[in-house]
Amino acid sequence: MNASTHCFDKIRSLIRSRIQDPGLPSLAVGVVRDGETLWEEAFGLADREKRVPATIHTRYSLASVSKPFTTTALMKLVEAGQMDLDTPVNEYLAPGCRLNVWAGDPDAVTVRKVATHTAGLPGQCNFFSEDQLYLRPSREESIRRYGNIVTPPGERYRYANFGFGILDHLVERVSGLSFADYLRREVFLPLGMTRSSVDLSSDLRGDAAIRYDADGRPIPYYEVDHPGASSVWTSVNDLLRFGRFHLRQPLADQKAVLSEETILAMQKPAVTMNNVNPADLNLRSTSQYGIGWVVDDDELDFRISHGGGMGGAASKLLLIPKENIVIATAANSFHPLAYTIEREILCNLIPDYCEKFALYDEKKRLAEAAAEQGGATLPVPELTGEWQGALHTYEKKLPFRLSFLPTGEVHAKLGDQLTALVNNVRFANNCLTGKMAGSMETGDAARLPHHAAHHLALDFKLRGTKLNGAVMAMVGNMLSHWAEFEKV
């Protein structure tokens, strides 16, 4: 059935007007309701330089929408009795690449906690351009370097891409197949997803969308060290197929790769999220996370979704079980329209949805305003003074000193580097965050010449007489290591 039959013409005009933006080369959209495909259409160019139009079968980089694919693979192994969600992750890893558990009990770092972003891993992502793929370490080496548990497992939610890199490695170790081959054999092909893959081999790039930056410049092909979090490429047509299956309304030609019981278990909320994933622009503090899915239950109805965004990619998959609706979007740039167009679609399909969105927006605005006002203004007595500690990287340990002055300023000295002022300092719920000039002094952090003078982000928690947590080198990538201090 075509778009005009369901009055999508205004939305089509809106998309066409935005496609004129330099930062939005193309956008593909698909809508299913009650098992019927209402709308599938692509706008703009998959490849601007070669003038290749986008289609509903063009492969797009999904970024974080890869995560429910990874947990689908994971849960197949759980159903087969080959894995247990409540087994410690280290029991599945090789002896030489166990997680570094700096905080909490190693046995509490279970597969389930990794899959729900509650294992205690910090923010972490490591990108490699095509001409640097030879520098990408093995997965075992990546885990040795960055598999750092910096908060006790279960203490808090922290969106952790590297955790899903650990999960895809577990799939490989348990199944005996590469992650790409396992997904293809056990998920993509049974669901009829013939335009889907993990990363792109050279023979698959002809029908894939080139990724572009915000200024409309093509981004050279790149990969990551956490494929399970970010590396699935698929078409909007295939993404709708995946959504239909997880809505438990599969097509006749789709095989049941998971039981309905397992699908529902993945969609059961496990932890309340917070706004640490900029890709999920519709996220607010009441959102929850299941096993690879974002779960919302509010004035917009019960919803299952996941958004994805990184350089040259924006996508979202939304399921509304009560309305039997699946909406899939994908763009070949990090553009907000890939996330916000669902509002126009839902207002078109559901009579009172515009009013629901107005209420949702107001509650979200009030929650964000309250969050901005939270936290203590420095100085605070328990922090004021000198703190001596160290930053532990995979290469060496660097002396690290923090000075909390009576004026409220915070100074930091890392190794032999110049003393730096810590900016954007925030202290709330015993958690301290801030940014400072400085270098991680590791080979990975120095790999990109234009990021040699990177800055560091701090994410610490005050625990009695100690202050500890993660230091993240912001080098285009985010490279995280453990640091701990004691008051002098």
SS3 469: strand
Nearest one of 67, 65, 49 to 219, comparing CA atoms: 49
- Rounded distance, CA 454 to CA 381, Å? 31
User: What mean pLDDT is predicted for residues 404-422?
Assistant: 97
Q: Model confidence over 46-74: pLDDT tens digits?
A: 999 999 999 999 999 999 999 999 999 99
Q: Is the pLDDT of residue 276 over 50?
A: no
Beta strands, E only, 152-201: 197-198
Fold of 385-487: Lipocalin (2.40.128)
Nearest one of 65, 72, 57 to 250, comparing CA atoms: 72
| The model's pTM | 0.95
Q: Model confidence over 434-471: pLDDT tens digits?
A: 999 999 999 999 887 655 568 999 999 999 999 999 99
The residue type of 393 is T
Q: Model confidence over 177-189: pLDDT tens digits?
A: 999 999 999 999 9
Q: Which residue has the tokens 């239950």?
A: 297
pLDDT at residue 377, rounded to an integer: 83
pLDDT at residue 280, rounded to an integer: 40
Mean pLDDT over the full length of the chain = 93
The ranges of the chain annotated as CATH 2.40.128 are 385-487
The ranges of the chain annotated as CATH 3.40.710.10 are 3-54+211-222+231-370
SS percent in the chain: helix, strand, coil, step 5: 30, 30, 40
Nearest one of 41, 42, 50 to 206, comparing CA atoms: 50
CATH (residue range 3-54+211-222+231-370) = 3.40.710.10
